[in-house]
Structure 1
Amino acid sequence: MPTSAGLAFYSQAQLALRHADDAVLAAREARLSGHVSVGMAPSTASVLGVPFIHAMRESYADVRLHLVESLSGNLERMINTRQLDLAIVFQKEKLARWSARPILEERLFLIGTHDVLAPLPEASISPGQLAAIPLIMPSLGHGLRGRLEAICQEHALSVDVVAEIDGLALLMRAVRDGLGATLQPGAAISHLDGESLRVIGVENPILSRPNFLVSLSDDELTPAGLAARVILAKVMRQLVESGRWPGASLYAH
Structure 2
Amino acid sequence: MTAFYARNKLLSFAIALVVLQLVAAIFAPFLGLQDPFAQVMVARMQGPSTANLLGTDQLGRDVLARIIYGYRTSLLTCLTAVSLALVVGGLIGMLAAYYRGWFDRIVMRLMDILFAFPIMLLAIAVIAVLGPTSWSAALAIAIVYTPIFARLLRGPALVICESEYVNGAKAIGASNWRIILIHLLPNLASVILVQTSLLLSAAILVEASLSFLGLGAQPPTPSLGLMLSEGRNFLLLSPWPAVFAGFAILLLSFGFNLLGDALRDTLDPRLRGAS
TM-score by length of 1: 0.30
- Higher-Rg structure is 2
Structure having the larger proportion of residues in strand = 1
